[in-house]
């Protein structure tokens, strides 16, 4: 992993980050490298502003050495992700995976996020009934109990603690394990699986080994649920889809595995980054403490501003596709940059400003189109409960190291924080 660049803290004024600056001239002969690095952890790479105005469809070189197109304007990203002429099939030769390990193992295991209809539709339909607003709303008391229990343990430790394992990862992993009915004793195990499988520098062997460990754990649980059904999601999938022959055991393992991986790392990063932002911006923390009813709007604004899953929507053009006057030729890889879209001033006036009263916040932090995040209601619930409880119960929370020593994750599938020492 590359050493992180020193982050620039947000100012105490209304801006979360410095205004975007134009990047140095791109080398005309060779496309720019991608992913681009964030200067401020709470904002997209500064280069995105130039892309939006000067090169809305730009050619980039990926860490694998392959080339792909990146699309950066809000309207273009939405159109692209809703276009039936794009494919999410990771087996396509120019699929723009960011790591060789992901590409090779993904082509073998085919997690449904990286498949097309009709396969994709079959898996998605299997999961959707469990992720409706109503089902997730009913989980609030369970999520609150998890959060309170973890906060009790963190406070009992006396501090300082690393907030990422002690709270952010513990909350997100415990919630997803609760939903699925998977034992959550070993929280670090899940963290390690994602650390390896989501890293761009992991080899195919390393990714396969990490996912193999996760599948072994789920597999043991599937066997158990065949004999002793509960009322968790895994039991429902076993009864409603495995027993009926709708899915095979490997398909079930891959579906549950991607749900765990997609769900816990993203929420962990959002809880940790949002907490850091609120520590750097006491005015915003105070606003939320004074009026907790702002929390749902605040969560969506934090999701928009930070857009941590920026380079998750990887696609291939199945036909020539015209976007903003440029043509992405058939069979080329193309990535809709969610963070660039979410900071498009045409859609979000003063996009760097963190504004919990922003009207019409139709951000794309959860993607757009047929692959839009299935767990978005759960993610919002976790964030609301985790942040509201923290602000209420630990008003003295503060960094235990200088801001410059906070370590960020620049090398993983979603942007986040590696280590966040805090005290209170
Ligand atoms: C803050 C938290 C989260 C963020 C920012 C996020 C972001 C995203 C994005 C951008 C996509 C679309 C990928 C694409 O278009 O290729 C996605 C898909 C997905 N997410 Fe999330 N996610 C979050 C939390 C969760 C949670 C909590 C779960 C599950 C419990 C989850 C499960 C999934 C699954 C299964 C997909 C694949 C959907 C499909 O391909 O049809 N995510 N997520």
At 13 the pLDDT is: 33
User: Ligand 1 centre and the CA of 21: distance in Å?
Assistant: 30
**Strand-pair partners of 15:** 353
Instruction: Pull the structure tokens for residue 92.
Output: 């396509």
User: Ligand 1 centre and the CA of 194: distance in Å?
Assistant: 14
At 29 the pLDDT is: 58
* Ordered DSSP codes for 252-316: HHHHHHHHHHHHHHHHHHHHHHHHHHHHH-HHHHHHHHH-GGGHHHHHHHHHHHH-TTTT--EEE
Instruction: Pull the structure tokens for residue 79.
Output: 């159109």
CATH code of 32-423, in short, is 1.10.630.10
Q: Is residue 150 within 8 Å of 170, Cβ to Cβ? A: yes
At 26 the pLDDT is: 43
- The rounded distance, in Å, linking the Cα atoms of 132 and 2 is 39
- Report helix angle 100-109 to 204-227, nearest 10: 40
Q: Is residue 417 within 8 Å of 273, Cβ to Cβ? A: yes
- The rounded distance, in Å, linking the Cα atoms of 308 and 337 is 11
Which atom of ligand 1 is the closest one to the Cα of 172? 27
- The rounded distance, in Å, linking the Cα atoms of 153 and 180 is 23
Ligand 1 pocket: which of 89, 92, 262, 269 to mutate (most atoms <8 Å of CB)? 262
At 191 the pLDDT is: 80
For the chain, the domains span 32-423
**Strand-pair partners of 61:** 33, 67
Residue 373 is among the residues annotated as catalytic for this protein = yes
Q: Is residue 336 within 8 Å of 309, Cβ to Cβ? A: no
312 lines ligand 1 (CB under 6 A): yes
Q: What is the pLDDT along the chain (424 residues), one digit of tens a residue?
A: 333 333 343 433 334 433 333 333 444 557 899 999 999 999 999 999 999 999 999 999 999 999 999 999 999 999 999 999 999 999 999 999 998 888 888 888 889 999 999 999 999 999 999 999 999 999 999 999 999 999 999 999 998 999 999 999 999 999 999 999 888 777 888 888 877 887 778 888 888 888 888 899 899 999 999 889 988 999 999 999 999 999 999 999 999 998 998 898 999 999 999 999 999 999 999 999 999 999 999 999 999 999 999 989 999 999 999 999 999 999 999 999 999 999 999 999 999 999 999 998 999 999 999 999 999 999 999 999 999 999 999 999 999 999 999 999 988 889 999 999 999 9
At 236 the pLDDT is: 93
């Amino acid at each position: 992993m590359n050493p992180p660049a020193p982050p620039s803290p947000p100012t105490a004024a209304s801006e979360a980050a410095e205004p975007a600056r134009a990047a140095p001239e791109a080398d005309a002969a060779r496309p720019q490298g991608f992913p681009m690095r964030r200067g401020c952890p709470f904002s997209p790479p500064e280069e995105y502003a130039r892309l939006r105005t000067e090169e809305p469809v730009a050619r980039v070189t990926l860490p694998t050495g392959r080339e792909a197109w990146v699309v950066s304007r809000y309207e273009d990203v939405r159109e692209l992700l809703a276009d039936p002429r794009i494919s999410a099939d990771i087996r396509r030769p120019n699929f723009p995976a960011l790591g060789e390990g992901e590409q090779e193992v993904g082509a073998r295991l085919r997690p449904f996020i990286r498949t097309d209809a009709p396969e994709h539709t079959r898996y998605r339909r299997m999961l959707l009934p469990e992720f409706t607003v109503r089902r997730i709303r009913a989980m609030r008391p369970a999520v609150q109990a998890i959060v309170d229990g973890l906060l009790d343990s963190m406070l009992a430790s006396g501090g300082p603690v690393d907030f990422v394992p002690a709270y952010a990862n513990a909350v997100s992993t415990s919630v997803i394990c609760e939903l699925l009915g998977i034992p959550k004793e070993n929280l670090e195990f899940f963290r390690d699986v994602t650390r390896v499988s989501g890293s761009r520098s992991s080899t195919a062997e390393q990714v396969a080994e990490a996912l193999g460990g996760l599948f072994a754990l789920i597999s043991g649980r599937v066997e158990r649920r065949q004999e002793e059904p509960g009322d968790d999601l895994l039991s429902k999938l076993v009864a409603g889809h495995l027993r009926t022959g709708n899915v095979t055991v490997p398909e079930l393992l891959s579906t549950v595995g991607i749900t765990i991986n997609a769900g816990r790392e993203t929420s962990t990063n959002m809880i940790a980054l949002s907490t850091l932002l609120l520590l750097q911006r006491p005015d915003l923390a105070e606003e939320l403490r004074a009026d907790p009813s702002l929390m749902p709007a605040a969560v969506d604004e934090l999701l928009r501003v930070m857009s941590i899953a920026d380079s998750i929507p990887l696609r291939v053009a199945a036909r020539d596709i015209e976007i903003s006057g440029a043509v992405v030729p058939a069979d080329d890889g193309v990535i809709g940059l969610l963070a660039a879209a979410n900071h498009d001033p045409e859609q979000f006036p003063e996009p760097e400003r963190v504004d919990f009263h922003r009207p019409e916040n139709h951000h794309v932090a959860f993607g757009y189109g047929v692959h839009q995040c299935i767990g978005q209601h759960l993610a919002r619930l976790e964030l609301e409960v985790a942040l509201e409880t923290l602000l209420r119960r630990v008003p003295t929370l503060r960094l235990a190291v200088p801001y410059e020593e906070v370590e960020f994750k620049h090398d993983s599938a979603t942007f986040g924080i590696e280590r966040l020492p805090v005290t209170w």
